[in-house]
Structure 1
């Protein structure tokens, strides 16, 4: 009898968990759809800015230099690393993969002789790096809907610090969204910018003002949109991985409910059989 009650309680508990994970799956699906729409809306602009920079650089036809493309003349022996994670868990390997990659990058830079200034976006990074005894210089609260104004201000600060010679490079560690079935953690060097290269035929532009002046305006925009795209990719990846994790948890809970119900029915059947046997035995004894 006690076993039957225990199985019934367990089945109720698992069903409750199943309802919770199903609800979380539905919420994650809605947030993923919204985040994907935001990322898709900004991606064409990001790609166009990058292509325009490459086209203008190629059409200018002369070597040009820009402070955002050159490491400081006197090396600062200091690099900045921004690790983009989430504020909440239950999203599979999302945070763990990014945090391990960020830690490896920090250790690699330190091993090469550079001091590292670590900054994070997302609450999940705090406990991890505290346990790893890595100091976090600054924390950024972007949430799962990064606003362009916030990212722009952050990019402006990075560019100002870089051109002032405070850092030799700025690295971003984030989860790149490729498709709903594929997301990959990667490191992007935000600064210094790589020399732009145009693919295909070089367009014939006439510049006014000069190509260098136009690039001086375009390059900061390229930095800003690249950083914004990284935050958007991170948000989309977080929600899709949480959606998949919650679906898996819901499916596992459904399977566990079926197993418990089967054991519950067997226990009830065994109890009924035992009771019938006792009744028949008692009747036979009285006969």
Structure 2
């Protein structure tokens, strides 16, 4: 692990995809089975954390916080003068870990609508030969959280992919992490939908440029409410940059 940065009062580990996979892979194979959480930071999560202390605490408590979107790379350059080595989106970390470990990897898929995690499980087995030890949809009430956490614990996975949407998935992993006792727990957003085939993966050119979110928002009306958060993120970064500049001038 390299030095940890602080971006808009949140931690950020400057690792690219290769570094994130190496780190999480080492956690999976460690004999200690210490439970660890991974947050893949994007502008939407940053904006939500400004008004959601539980989310902010989940991010600060995470063992690994990677740059998911190009917006985070831009913000690090604007506010910290740091050029990050690359991005490490949750979907890419998850797919790389399953490809690397294959049948030796015990995976639990949590999230999506009823039926989606089961379809995703079938695809994961076909593509990488992983051992899926559990699959459960993400449409359950908070009163059911402990039951689900204990279900995960009893399955003894090495990797938990939690796909319940920004904030909900990060808070769930952090709060119930010690109960679930999974070596690597990652909030992966719509990854199970993509794996199941119920959502389309953004085109390669958008992913290479780091603007796949534009493609997703434009093509899915259900995501249109996310656009204002992206604008809020830009305003947040610019306001913080002005504050830092003013402080520097006052010295």
Look at both structures and tell me which one has the larger radius of gyration over its CA atoms: 1
Which of 1 and 2 has higher RCO (CA within 8 Å, sep 6+)? 1
TM-score, structure 2 length as denominator?
0.29
More helix by share: 1
